[in-house]
Amino acid sequence: MTRNKKLVKLMALTVAAATVATSVPAYAAFDADYYASQNADVVAAVGTSAKALENHYNTFGKKEGRAGSAEDLANNPIRQIFDSELYAKLYPDVVAAFGNNADALFTHFMTFGIKEGRKINTYFDVNVYKEAYPDLAAAFGDDIAMYYKHFVLFGIAEHRTKGGFPAEKILPGKATPVSTSSGSSSSGGGSGKKSTTPTPTPTPTPTPEPTPTPTPEPTPTPAPEPEKTEAEKAEEAYDTAAKAAEAADKALDEAIEALGKANQAVTDAGLVIANTNATNALGAVNAAAVTSANMDTTKAIGDANDAISLAQKSPTDANKDAAVQAAIKAVKAANTELRAANTNATNAATAVKKADEAVKSADKAVKAAKEAQVQAKAAKTAADSKLAAIESQIEEAEKRQDIAEKAVQDAKATVTKVAKEQEDAVAAATDAFNAAKIISDGKTTALNTATSKLVKEINDTLNLQNEEAYTTITATGISLATDALNEAAATAAKNTSIKKGALTTLVPGAIGSDGEINERIIARAIQTAENNTDSQIAAVSEAVAAYTKDGATEAQKKEALEALDAAIAELVKLGCYNDAKDAKQALVTTDEGGNPTAYAGTEVTPNDAKEAAGSKINNAVADYTGAVKAQANAENAVTTFSEMQTTVDDAKNANDKALAKTKAAEDAEKVAQDTKKEENAKAASAVKAAEDEKKLIDAEIEAADLDDQKERAEREVTSAKDAVKAAGDLLEDVEEQAKTAAENKVAADEAKANADASVATAEQNVEIAEGQKTTAEAIEVPED
């Protein structure tokens, strides 16, 4: 049979995949409600949105061993060896936190317990398992969870009994110890070659009762990994396809090698030769010869019986001699039959032996032929997988080239885009600087105006001119002006108080509590003053008349003068005179030789006195009003001066801010210019990097020569198809030969049984014939 030497590379991968596929069930559909009910910590972190829960499960939950549904939980291989009752008994803290439900306990174990090395049944001890197999420790290190998974997926099948179940009680077949140098790979693949010298399994040290751990804290939700770029995804897919092709190629080589061994095993079985030998041996069995000899023996025994009967009836020498000769002939015939039967029995035994050998050869050949068929199909599967992987690699290579080309075009487009964006950014920065400069100039002008006004106010307040005047704002100038204005306000307030006292003394109640003039009270006071003036003027006239009356006595004159003094004093109070002294000066009493009539007639008239009384009140009102206004003006001056300072401060702050913004805008414009250069350089560099990356990808794909690989893979697929057909034909031939071997075995067994029966018959005939001979010889012939 012609065989392609490239045909089993995918076999190991296929077997490993089949092992994993049968050991690890596919994940069931995600159940958001179930996931939320089993993972309160996740709900606390991401909420109850079905999408958020599914994203957490896909990103983190699977890796953490969380079940996405009740079906997932039930199908988990570890669940098959998980003893929930023992788990609850050993860890009451978990029961207190999660309850006694078997699903909840298993969820705790897969989420937390598997990392803590908790015990899941009475047989398996993860720490003993780790220590017993250095190959696993080298692969998994301190990742305790991997030892549980390895035991369930591979350890049991590999009969790794140290630290685990007695595997021969779980799986069919004899347990074969595995040497410690044959560990599984870190990816969870099968173990390597098994040790030819089994190492006795040590008795595991009893596991101490574990100390309950504290109630587990919810696992924090890790930050999601950044999304890969399309180029990274394409490269990863390309590498994956390349690895798949490589694995398939290896599996193909291994399958072809195994197929050759299986075909050789068919040849080594020697079925055709064994069947030929069995057929020939059957051909040597001659039952007809034995039958013929038996017929001769039967006839000879019959003839002897007749001769003996005749001799016995007629005992003559002749009859006796004839009977003896007939019996001797029967003995010879029986011995001939016995020899023929023995020879035939020996040949039949040989045929049985050869038939047994042929059946055994048939069993080996059929088994080898079936294995050849399996390996041929595996080679076909590997060849198909290799071709598919190469086609996928070609497809991914084209994607990588397309993405690389797009990256180059995008990078070139980015150069133009970046140039435009940076140009716009510089223009915007320049516009911002110009706008800030305009605002800053305005703020500076406002500050200068406010400063000039304040300087002028200081000079005006302090009455400074020429060289003495301030040209700038100084703390001293502000202090002096402030003091002057405050002093003026205080003086005005004091004067207001004095004028208020004068008015209220003259007219009680003239000023209200709000400081306003009560016009009605003033009017009434003026009217009263005028009335009083009239009365006092009349009193003056009466006193003068009494004084000048003819015949007035000195006592009457004195009384008249006293009355005159009193009236004048009242007129002073009413404002007709400044004070009483003036009134006395206007009157020369008789004691001094004066004439009182001169006063009455020339110094005062009734109307003047009356007007003076009203004017005094009005003057007091005017004085008070003027004082109030002066005080308000002085206080307003203080306030205005303070506001002018505030205006200057505000203008200065606004100016400072405007200057800062202008400086920031100027700096931003410079940064924009620098950024423009940097970003344009980056964009140009990105184009070169994209072009270099495309060259590398093109070179890598060209070196891979994928088209040639595909052609070879297609030829290998064709060869594999031929191998499958040839293996099928071989199996048919071998099964036909096996059928012949089985038929020969049946025929040989039947021939053996018949031959053994013939021997027994022949032996009986020999015995009969010998008896006849004895009988014949014992016949007594009477003497004549």
- In this predicted structure, the answer to whether residue 304 has a pLDDT above a threshold of 60 is yes
pLDDT value, residue 200: 42
Please give the structure tokens belonging to residue 389. 């992987």
How far from 415 is each of 250, 411, 419, 421, 693, CA to CA, in Å?
47, 6, 6, 10, 17
Please give the structure tokens belonging to residue 730. 């071989």
Residue 714 within any structural domain of the chain: no
Phi, psi dihedral angles at 708 (to 5 degrees): -65, -40
Distance of CA 74 to the CA centre of its chain: 25
pLDDT value, residue 553: 92
Residue-range definition of the domain harbouring residue 495? 478-649
Cβ neighbours of residue 394 under 8 Å, at least 6 residues apart?
706, 707, 710
What single DSSP character describes residue 285?
-
Alpha helices in 270-316 (DSSP H): 271-284, 287-313
SS (HEC) of 400-434: HHHHHHHHHHHHHHHHHHHHHHHHHHHHHHHHHHH
Q: Which of 262-266, 472-476, 575-579 has maximum average pLDDT?
A: 472-476
Q: What is the pLDDT of residues 325-354, one digit of tens each?
A: 999 999 999 999 899 999 999 999 999 998
- In this predicted structure, the answer to whether residue 17 has a pLDDT above a threshold of 50 is no
Per-position DSSP letters for 731-782, written without gaps between them: HHHHHHHHHHHHHHHHHHHHHHHHHHHHHHHHHHHHHHHHHHHHHHHTPPPP
If you search the block for the tokens 């049985």, which residue do you land on? 352
Q: How confident is the model at residue 85 (pLDDT cuts 50, 70, 90)?
A: very high
Instruction: Give the residues across from 252 on adjacent strands.
Output: 8
Give the whole-angstrom CA distance, residue 67 versus residue 556. 137
Q: How confident is the model at residue 167 (pLDDT cuts 50, 70, 90)?
A: very low
Phi, psi dihedral angles at 8 (to 5 degrees): -160, 15
Give the whole-angstrom CA distance, residue 66 versus residue 70. 11
- In this predicted structure, the answer to whether residue 764 has a pLDDT above a threshold of 70 is yes
Question: Side-chain half-sphere of 19: how many Cα atoms within 13 Å?
Answer: 19
545 or 743: which carries more pLDDT confidence? 743
Please give the structure tokens belonging to residue 601. 């007639």
pLDDT value, residue 214: 54
Please give the structure tokens belonging to residue 776. 């014949």
- In this predicted structure, the answer to whether residue 313 has a pLDDT above a threshold of 90 is yes
Dihedral over alpha carbons 491, 493, 496, 498 (to 10 degrees): -60
How far from 565 is each of 574, 589, 749, CA to CA, in Å?
14, 10, 187
If you search the block for the tokens 């060259």, which residue do you land on? 695
What single DSSP character describes residue 592?
G
Q: What is the pLDDT of residues 699-754, one digit of tens each?
A: 989 888 999 999 999 999 999 989 998 999 999 999 999 999 999 989 999 998 99
Residue 772 within any structural domain of the chain: no
Q: What angle do CA 494, 499, 502 make, to 5 degrees?
A: 130
Q: How confident is the model at residue 6 (pLDDT cuts 50, 70, 90)?
A: very low
Residue 404 within any structural domain of the chain: no
Kindly calculate the radius of gyration of the chain based on its CA atoms and give it in whole angstroms: 69
Contact present, 410 and 686 (Cβ < 8 Å): no
- Which of 352, 293, 77 has the alpha carbon at shortest distance from 763? 293
Q: What is the pLDDT of residues 356-368, one digit of tens each?
A: 999 999 998 998 9
Contact present, 446 and 651 (Cβ < 8 Å): yes
SS (HEC) of 445-472: HHHHHHHHHHHHHHHHHHCCCHHHCCCC
Give the whole-angstrom CA distance, residue 159 versus residue 384. 33
To the nearest whole number, what is the mean pLDDT of the chain?
83
Q: How confident is the model at residue 654 (pLDDT cuts 50, 70, 90)?
A: very high
Cβ neighbours of residue 169 under 8 Å, at least 6 residues apart?
none
pTM of the prediction? 0.39
Residue type, 34: Y
Give the whole-angstrom CA distance, residue 750 versus residue 759. 14
pLDDT value, residue 19: 37
Q: What is the pLDDT of residues 36-67, one digit of tens each?
A: 988 888 999 889 999 899 989 888 888 777 88
- Which of 429, 512, 401, 453 has the alpha carbon at shortest distance from 643? 453
Q: What is the pLDDT of residues 637-653, one digit of tens each?
A: 999 989 999 999 999 89
Longest dimension (CA), the chain: 263
Instruction: Give the residues across from 220 on adjacent strands.
Output: none
Residue 590 within any structural domain of the chain: yes
Count of residues for the chain?
784
Residue type, 467: E
Does residue 256 sit in helix, strand or coil? helix
- Which of 348, 371, 352, 349 has the alpha carbon at shortest distance from 360? 352
Q: What angle, rounded to 10 degrees, do the helices at 317-462 and 475-506 form?
A: 60
Per-position DSSP letters for 610-672, written without gaps between them: HHHHHHHHHHHHHHHHHHHHHHHHHHHHHHHHHHHHHHHHHHHHHHHHHHHHHHHHHHHHHHH
Dihedral over alpha carbons 502, 507, 512, 515 (to 10 degrees): -30
Residue type, 655: N
Residue 543 within any structural domain of the chain: yes
Residue 736 within any structural domain of the chain: no
Contact present, 53 and 41 (Cβ < 8 Å): no
pLDDT value, residue 204: 44
740 or 558: which carries more pLDDT confidence? 740
Q: What is the pLDDT of residues 672-699, one digit of tens each?
A: 989 988 899 989 999 989 999 988 899 9
Residue 707 within any structural domain of the chain: no
Residue 519 within any structural domain of the chain: yes
Contact present, 430 and 668 (Cβ < 8 Å): no
Give the whole-angstrom CA distance, residue 373 versus residue 770. 63
How far from 590 is each of 93, 139, 287, 483, CA to CA, in Å?
131, 147, 212, 59
Count up the domains in the chain and report the number: 1
pLDDT value, residue 235: 86
Arithmetic mean of pLDDT, 492-506: 91
Please give the structure tokens belonging to residue 327. 């019996």
Please give the structure tokens belonging to residue 499. 């004028």
- In this predicted structure, the answer to whether residue 212 has a pLDDT above a threshold of 50 is yes
Arithmetic mean of pLDDT, 111-138: 92
Burial status of residue 655 (CB atoms within 10 A of its CB: 0-12, 13-18, 19 or more): buried
